[in-house]
Amino acid sequence: MVEERLELEVKQIFECVKYKKNFLLSGGAGSGKTYSLVQVIRKAINDNPLAKVSCVTYTNAAVKEITERVNHPNLTVSTIHDFLWDSIKIYQRDLKRELINLINDEYSTIISPDGTVDMTYFDALKDGIQYKEYSLIREGIVSHDEVLVLANVMFKNYSLLCDILKDKYRYVFIDEYQDTSPLVVEIFLEHLKKSKKESIIGFFGDAMQSIYEGGIGDLKKYIESGMVVEIQKKQNRRNPELVIELANKLRTDGLIQEPSIDPNAPNMIDGKVKKGSVKFLYSENRNLEEIKSTAYFKDWDFNNSKQTKELYLTHNLIAARAGFPSLMEIYDKDPIIGLKNEVRNKIKKENILINESDSFDQIVDEVALRNKKKQLKKDLIIQDPKLNELYNRLKDKPYSEVKKIYLDKESLIDDKKQDEDDENKKGSNRDPLIKHLFKIQSTVHLYKEKNYNEFIRKTEYPLTSVKNKKEIREIISEFDNFSNKTIEDVIEYADKNLLCRKDDNYNRFIQENDYLYSRIREVRYREFQNLYDYLEGFTPFSTQHKIKGAEFQNVFVLLDNGKWNNFNFDYLFSDTREKESVYLRTKKIFYVCCTRAKENLVVFFHNPNEKIINQAISWFGEENVHKI
């Protein structure tokens, strides 16, 4: 690579490398951090042809992007969990010992269903300790969270492991560092110091975009101690001038962005940065369709998910708008599962001795007797005919069976695309029932899009004659009439007509999760069709967390907390600091939302008070704040 073509910041990074200093490249939204990361990887390999480089990232999508940009045998790109597991998985004897120690440590987050265990606990394991999408500690299976804790302890206690990692990789570059667990940063900046061998650790990211729970947020203490040298990348290649000005008012770390000096940057026209537009709208009216019909959204195409996005804080806020409220309510707000969790927590907290073979109803009544002053939800549930009917589905089942029922919205809505061209990630958390429904609807979609080769690969329906082709056309056309059919009806129809057969994974899941299926099968299929469109990126809707890293011409941000206590837009615009962590977290999510806009940004606040309006005027400018 020609030296003169390197970015200034990349040159500064290799000054750090020259003096064997770990570094951090801090760059605001739209600064081109990934481009810098790619330049650094290429130069590291060019300067040291025999050196191995590891790049660890937060998502599988980032793994794919970086691998496509730099294809070299000396480069390994992986998620942080895969990187750490690959580093420790062969040391099974030590893994078993440390996992047992963690189980027996009262301060550890890793808990065995058998309580305290002895050192022979894992001796009978055929496959040793394994890393999977789920955790079953008794069987030696650990998931994402346990891998981080386990890896941290392994690198802390075994200096040879630190030697091996440094021998293997001359450079380790960590992308989106702000979302990385403090346990991971501790491995790279503290535990690896035990090894005298040389290596360079480089971090890339933006403290203002640390919006996920459990991330380290920033490296302030390591920068102040001199362990890491910070290099700021101030240019902004994405946003128009007015969005950059707004974003700079929101930043809390002293990094002030400025338009790119590159005339070919996406936010430049004829050598000047685009002006763009920012608007803060407020109203007593909550009817978003009426609001979107105003002149402020002129020329916006809400049917074009590649150009326009509506950003909400939670999937729950989107569910009603996108048309799948019943499915979301089942997975996220099932009242009977809420009661089960309440009962289970009271049993654990108060050490209540029970017979788990007793019915769920018996256990609920037994726990209720011990909590006379604190009424259980059961009394409220049985007074509601609909909820009472749900309770009756479970009340006679053994408590040992009911306590294992687990519903989580990630099993429904995991793996959200921003548009149809996005890649699916590996290891989706969708459960087998939802995956089966996706197979059905995606098969229908392939046929309607005339992608017949892929359709044939996915279905068992024979297409060997003109008669077959006519029959399958009629079978698929029926789906246009299935909006009011139940999900169960459609599953049976798809199976009967060989469009999508019920496989072993589906059958096993239904058998083991009959309560969930008893609820899902009654839902209208139209809801699942709407969910499919949402998750596959055919709608303008997205959560504010899922949008990070993306960019769109037009961005519409809805400031609604959605009853989520981790965020509060009233706090943000009122400058209320009584809960500083909530205030800062909300400011960061708002920063991320605003900086997605390449042209036009509109923010809507329902019925704000005068203090909120004044803050909006301060940030957006009086001429950009409008009551509608």
Asked if pLDDT for residue 59 goes beyond 80, the answer is: no
Is 34 labelled as part of a ligand binding site?
yes
Per-residue pLDDT band for 379 (boundaries 50, 70, 90) equals confident
| CA proximity to 548, closest of 416, 413, 412, 410 | 416
Residues in the chain: 628
Angstrom distance (rounded) from CA 419 to CA 415 = 12
- Residues 73/53, Cβ–Cβ less than 8 Å: no
Is 140 labelled as part of a ligand binding site?
no
Is 294 labelled as part of a ligand binding site?
no
Angstrom distance (rounded) from CA 211 to CA 209 = 6
Is 29 labelled as part of a ligand binding site?
yes
CA 397 to chain centre: 35
Listing DSSP states for 357-415 in one string gives TSBHHHHHHHHHHTTTTS--THHHHTTSHHHHHHHHHHTTSBHHHHTT----THHHH-S
pLDDT for 428 = 72
User: For 319, how many CA atoms within 13 A lie in the half-sphere containing its CB?
Assistant: 19
Angstrom distance (rounded) from CA 78 to CA 528 = 33
pLDDT for 2 = 42
Report the alpha-carbon angle 554-559-565, nearest 5.
140
Is 28 labelled as part of a ligand binding site?
yes
pLDDT for 367 = 87
Is 32 labelled as part of a ligand binding site?
yes
**SS3 assignment for 272-305:** EECCCEEEEEEECCCCHHHHHCCHHHCCCCCCCC
Is 459 labelled as part of a ligand binding site?
no
Structural tokens at position 63: 């793994």
Q: What is the pLDDT of residues 160-176, one digit of tens each?
A: 999 999 999 999 999 99
Asked if pLDDT for residue 381 goes beyond 90, the answer is: no
Asked if pLDDT for residue 1 goes beyond 70, the answer is: no
Angstrom distance (rounded) from CA 427 to CA 350 = 37
Asked if pLDDT for residue 499 goes beyond 70, the answer is: yes
Angstrom distance (rounded) from CA 517 to CA 530 = 19
Within 10 Å of residue 71's Cβ, how many Cβ atoms? 8
Kindly report which listed range (56-60, 305-309, 549-553) carries the lowest average pLDDT score. Answer: 56-60
User: Is pLDDT larger for residue 112 or for residue 177?
Assistant: 177
Is 483 labelled as part of a ligand binding site?
no
Q: What is the pLDDT of residues 316-358, one digit of tens each?
A: 999 999 999 999 999 998 999 999 998 888 888 888 889 999 9
pLDDT for 426 = 56
Asked if pLDDT for residue 4 goes beyond 60, the answer is: no
Listing DSSP states for 91-152 in one string gives -HHHHHHHHHHHHH-TT-S---TT-S--TTTTTT-SS-SEE-SS-BGGGTEE-HHHHHHHHH
Angstrom distance (rounded) from CA 65 to CA 425 = 12
pLDDT for 373 = 54
φ and ψ at residue 101, rounded to 5 degrees: -60, -40
Listing DSSP states for 170-220 in one string gives SEEEEETGGGS-HHHHHHHHTGGGGS-S--EEEEEE-GGG--STT-----H
CA distances, 211 to each of 204, 207, 550, 573 (Å): 16, 9, 14, 18
> Which residues, other chains included, contact 318 with Cβ-Cβ below 8 Å and sequence gap of 6+?
312, 534, 541, 542, 543
Q: Letter for the amino acid at 195?
A: S
Angstrom distance (rounded) from CA 326 to CA 525 = 11
Within 10 Å of residue 294's Cβ, how many Cβ atoms? 13
DSSP class of 27: E
Share of the chain above pLDDT 90, in %: 74
Asked if pLDDT for residue 483 goes beyond 70, the answer is: yes
The pTM (predicted TM-score) of the whole model is 0.86
Largest Cα separation within the chain, whole Å, is: 78
DSSP class of 253: S
Asked if pLDDT for residue 474 goes beyond 50, the answer is: yes
Share the mean pLDDT of the chain.
Answer: 92
Structural tokens at position 136: 């079953």
Q: What is the pLDDT of residues 554-566, one digit of tens each?
A: 999 999 988 888 9
User: For 315, how many CA atoms within 13 A lie in the half-sphere containing its CB?
Assistant: 22
> By three-state DSSP, how is residue 340 classified?
helix
